[in-house]
A and B are shown apart, each in its own frame.
Chain A
């Protein structure tokens, strides 16, 4: 009798243990992620300046935000950046993956070579590309020194072009990761299909366009979600590469949020911009999660 009771306690403990162990992390996430999301949203409706305060000002911060020229630039930059960044990364990643999938020699070595930039942080990438793109010491100076006198590449110094230098550096950093995602997808496709297609006389191009790429849809989706949220929160690369300049030409929502909240003593407006960024991320992630969860059922 006693013995059976003992087993019952252990059983119950075994059942409860995961919950007990997990509960601190759940509590921490509830407070430090969702709690602070609520706190930030609340701050965005207050007149907080240098330190948080709780004077309700309604939508004032959002009105100021949308009238702000720098926010305008930031949103435009985000649009340019994310379209090009996601588009080019997917294209290059797909091409690399298809070429690597041809059972070439040294595949492992090449795969690591392309994936390696991912190991660097965006700060390092930014500083390195800042030097490469600087006309005084980088590419332009080197090529002119080799005798190509007329060569000119000074986008990083030009107000209208500087945002594209950020695209270049970001694509360099991430396309290897996209390649890895697609390669995994490609390897999941049944070889029988290739043979069947070849028997039917399909060209390689048609095989990829009509059979392989449509099947890569899940890989595309995950690449898109990862790249999109990286684009929206991109901060360190901009800071390292251009510092938001020339002028404020390469300002992005994340740099805007940081500078308004912490250096410009406009915490309310900074919080409003953070909420706008959160909504943008949610607009991408929520439909994705929803479709994923629905498919599982």
Chain B
């Protein structure tokens, strides 16, 4: 009896030792993709790495915008034990690279020919000081207007393409007792609308000047006053319980016909497919009013941290897998975004994703592919939050547009100190 016990425990110890030896190395990946569909999408990557002989050590940190994930990451890096790779948004990649925490993926980039397939605007975030430090996973477009087709058909309305049309249509809807805009009053959602309005009212050059370059003249200009005027008008089109609502509940209102439109990124498609409605047919997708021709984008990146020589191969394999055609297609089909490389077959994607790809190509050509402020692809956290504070304060109070612009200019000056 005793002998058996010893033998069997020995067997267990040995076999567990063996399974660890089969996989040469593990990659440890810190991310905040914890929802069902996102986790499923990551499985594609896991399997691909397994076939190359690398194990996957998951390090998910729950929390939508990745705030807690960033706190964990800071603790790991300052403790001298960075993960092999971590999910980061645009500017954060550059921030980490400037702290000297990121490694070099250039050899993989060269071998796989990343230069030719990744759009320039995305590359700007992935390359620091001439070195590839991160791989883009996807491209999301936040400047979408989602329209409930049934409501518009029944009321004989045409989906709006400019802010004037948007205001007219919304007033008509409001007069009929329909909530025109589904919205959740969380600061980042207010900022998502603000993005659309700045781009729509001011145009791409103004957006770059004011938001990317933080040009004080542009920030304090009359155009910015008009932007806040439009924000105030939009405030009149949301229902009274909007504050604190999650974005997916707002999308549910749109799907159920409790509201007619929503200004939200293409991750909203996930909710639609989940509710068995077809994006592009039941829920129409249009560029946000007055922003046709421009493409605001967000990319998720996996940044390669400066790991020891032992883990460098695993890190390279991970990076290579992430930007492989297979993963880009499979992952983005599930995630609702479009691939971060431009040479993926589009047949399996839905109508809205295909439109997104067309618009991306057009924007890339015209130079109107612009990083989005609301999602960390235009400014670092401090400036982004400074603008967000003002936008959300204006949206939730009765201050005038001129006053909002003054506060905005002051807040930016403070944040840049």
User: Does B185 sit at the interface, judged by CB under 8 A?
Assistant: yes
User: Does B95 sit at the interface, judged by CB under 8 A?
Assistant: yes
Q: Is the CB of A247 within 8 A of B392?
A: yes
The number of chain B residues with a CB under 8 A from chain A is 32
User: Does B186 sit at the interface, judged by CB under 8 A?
Assistant: yes
Taking CB as reference atom, which chain B residue is nearest A243? Answer: B244
CA gap between A72 and B186 in the complex, in Å: 20
Q: Provided the pairs A50-B99, A64-B417, A157-B244 are in contact, do residues A263 and B70 lie with their beta carbons within 8 angstroms?
A: yes
User: Does A68 sit at the interface, judged by CB under 8 A?
Assistant: yes
User: Does B74 sit at the interface, judged by CB under 8 A?
Assistant: yes
From A64, A68, A157, A259, B243 is in contact (CB under 8 Å) with A157
Q: Is the CB of B380 within 8 A of A159?
A: no
CA gap between A265 and B187 in the complex, in Å: 17
Q: Is the CB of B414 within 8 A of A67?
A: yes
User: Does A264 sit at the interface, judged by CB under 8 A?
Assistant: yes
Q: Is the CB of B411 within 8 A of A69?
A: yes
User: Does A49 sit at the interface, judged by CB under 8 A?
Assistant: yes
User: Does B396 sit at the interface, judged by CB under 8 A?
Assistant: yes
User: Does B3 sit at the interface, judged by CB under 8 A?
Assistant: no
Q: Give residues 93-129 of B contacting A (CB, 8 Å).
A: 95-96, 99
B361 to chain A, nearest CB (A): 34
CA gap between A247 and B382 in the complex, in Å: 17
B249 to chain A, nearest CB (A): 9
- B-side binding surface: helix, strand, loop or mixed? helix
Q: Is the CB of A51 within 8 A of B186?
A: no
Taking CB as reference atom, which chain A residue is nearest B241? Answer: A136
Residues in chain B near residue A262, CB distance under 8 A: 67, 70-71, 74
CA gap between A70 and B386 in the complex, in Å: 10
CA gap between A60 and B396 in the complex, in Å: 30
What are 24 A-B interface contacts by the 8 Å CB criterion? A49-B382, A50-B95, A50-B96, A52-B78, A67-B414, A69-B411, A70-B389, A157-B240, A157-B241, A243-B244, A246-B243, A247-B185, A247-B396, A247-B397, A248-B187, A259-B385, A262-B67, A262-B71, A263-B67, A264-B381, A264-B382, A265-B95, A265-B382, A266-B382
B residues at A contact (CB < 8 Å)? 67, 70-71, 74, 77-78, 95-96, 99, 185-187, 240-241, 243-244, 380-382, 385, 389, 392-393, 395-397, 407, 410-411, 414-415, 417
A sample of 15 more A-B contacts (CB under 8 A), given A245-B244, A248-B393, A266-B382, is A50-B96, A50-B99, A51-B99, A67-B414, A68-B414, A154-B240, A154-B241, A159-B396, A245-B243, A247-B393, A247-B395, A262-B71, A263-B67, A264-B382, A265-B95
A residues at B contact (CB < 8 Å)? 49-52, 60, 64, 67-70, 134-136, 154, 156-157, 159, 242-243, 245-249, 259, 262-266
